[in-house]
């Protein structure tokens, strides 16, 4: 056999091997359509909202129920954090603590980000199901959208299945839910397969005798500085909100500082953020929680929602979680719960009460 024939046979074999690896990887990772309808789980006798009613919302990134006893590898630059996953006992403790806090606050609608489902790091559990089992039966409806899923991620600090979703839980009837795919962080084709597929979850709640209410939940990209990914995602969120002709409210973890807040952050914590926050685009168009007046005032620390997992940080130091809402809604009250939540997640919940038109 000539060297040339051996070379081409070897090249052909390697090509088949690489193609096989790509095909297996493709079918074991997540490829959502630009727009998808999500399955709504709702009891037949779920109550329906009424005009003029007050509704209380709870919005939190629950950090896959890990609690605050860890510095995960991605929490520090160069993936230098010491921890890869929380212990099973800490997950259980956090789940129960979150359920107790929710029962204490008694919200009508709950918006959660970073809820694990099928992930190795959280014992392959469906954390939404676990949480619902701890809540009262008043929470008759729920919807979720996956935004990170793969059967196996060959990252040295993961090496297993991942699964993370947005979830909305409601005491009131939900009739429809739509997942809108957001822009991805630019990556090579292989890494892109394993990366997050950030999304916008839009659910509709009927209101007796009038139009429905839209409640939206999102978790925008982390670790995207310098890529303009957050600008593209904000543009998509803005366009979606602008097209709504019904009352609406969106909550979530936007991974963005409030306008003109970059210099308030400690020097060693600025590496994740751009100096000019693109969330200003939403602040310029819609009512916000926290409001522009509050974040520019001496009261700004009361609205910090993020407590970094870092050995050098011992308290919440920034706001990256928000609500924006339609002028058709009337804000009655809002606050950040920073007492019982401090040990539950690296994010504190924003709790807000609105009056329907």
Q: Where are the domains of the chain?
A: 1-30, 35-355
Give the strand pairing for 176-181 and 54-61: unpaired
Which sign, positive or negative, has the C-alpha torsion 152, 158, 161, 163?
negative
* pLDDT the model gives residue 27: 79
205 touches 174 (CB < 8 A): yes
CATH number of 35-355: 3.60.10.10
CB contact set of 182 (below 8 Å; sequence gap of 6+) = 198, 199, 200, 218, 220, 221, 232, 233, 236, 237
Q: The pTM is what?
A: 0.94
CA distance 333 to 299: 16
Mean pLDDT per block of 10 residues along the chain (357 residues) reads 61 57 78 98 97 98 98 96 98 98 98 98 98 97 98 96 98 98 94 96 97 98 97 98 98 98 94 96 98 95 98 96 98 97 98 98
Cα→Cα distances 72→18, 246, 283, 308, Å = 32, 41, 32, 10
CA distance 83 to 63: 14
Cα→Cα distances 44→47, 48, 170, Å = 9, 11, 13
């Amino acid at each position: 056999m000539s060297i040339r024939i051996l070379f081409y046979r070897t090249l052909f074999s390697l090509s088949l091997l690489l193609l096989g690896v790509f095909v297996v990887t493709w079918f074991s990772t997540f490829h959502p359509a630009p727009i998808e309808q999500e399955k709504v789980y709702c009891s037949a006798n779920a109550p329906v909202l009424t005009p003029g009613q007050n509704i209380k919302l709870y919005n939190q990134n629950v950090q896959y129920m890990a609690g605050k006893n860890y510095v995960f590898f991605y929490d520090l630059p160069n993936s230098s954090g010491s921890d890869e996953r929380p212990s099973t006992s800490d997950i259980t403790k956090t789940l129960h603590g979150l359920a107790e806090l929710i029962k204490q606050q008694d919200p009508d609608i709950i918006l959660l980000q970073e809820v694990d489902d099928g992930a190795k790091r959280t014992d392959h559990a469906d954390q939404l199901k676990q949480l619902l089992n701890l809540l009262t039966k008043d929470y008759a409806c729920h919807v979720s959208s996956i935004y990170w899923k793969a059967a196996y991620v060959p990252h040295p600090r993961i090496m297993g299945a991942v699964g993370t979703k947005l979830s909305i839980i409601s005491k009131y009837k939900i009739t429809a839910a739509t997942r809108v795919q957001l822009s991805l962080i630019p990556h090579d084709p292989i890494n892109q397969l394993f990366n997050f597929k950030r999304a916008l979850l839009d659910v509709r709640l009927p209101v007796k005798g009038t139009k429905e209410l839209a409640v939206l939940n999102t978790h925008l990209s982390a670790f995207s500085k310098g890529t303009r990914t957050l600008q593209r995602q904000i543009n998509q969120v803005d366009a979606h909100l602008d097209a709504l002709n019904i009352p609406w409210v969106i909550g979530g973890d936007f991974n963005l500082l409030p306008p003109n807040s970059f210099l308030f952050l400690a020097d060693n914590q600025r590496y994740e953020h751009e100096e000019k926050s693109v969330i200003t685009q939403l602040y310029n168009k819609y009512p916000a929680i926290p409001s522009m007046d509050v974040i520019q005032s001496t009261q700004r620390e009361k609205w910090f929602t993020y407590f970094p997992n870092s050995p050098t940080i011992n308290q919440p130091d920034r706001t990256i979680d928000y609500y924006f809402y339609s002028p058709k809604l009337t804000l009655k009250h809002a606050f950040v719960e920073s007492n019982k939540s401090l040990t539950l997640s690296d994010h504190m919940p924003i709790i807000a009460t609105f009056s329907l038109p």
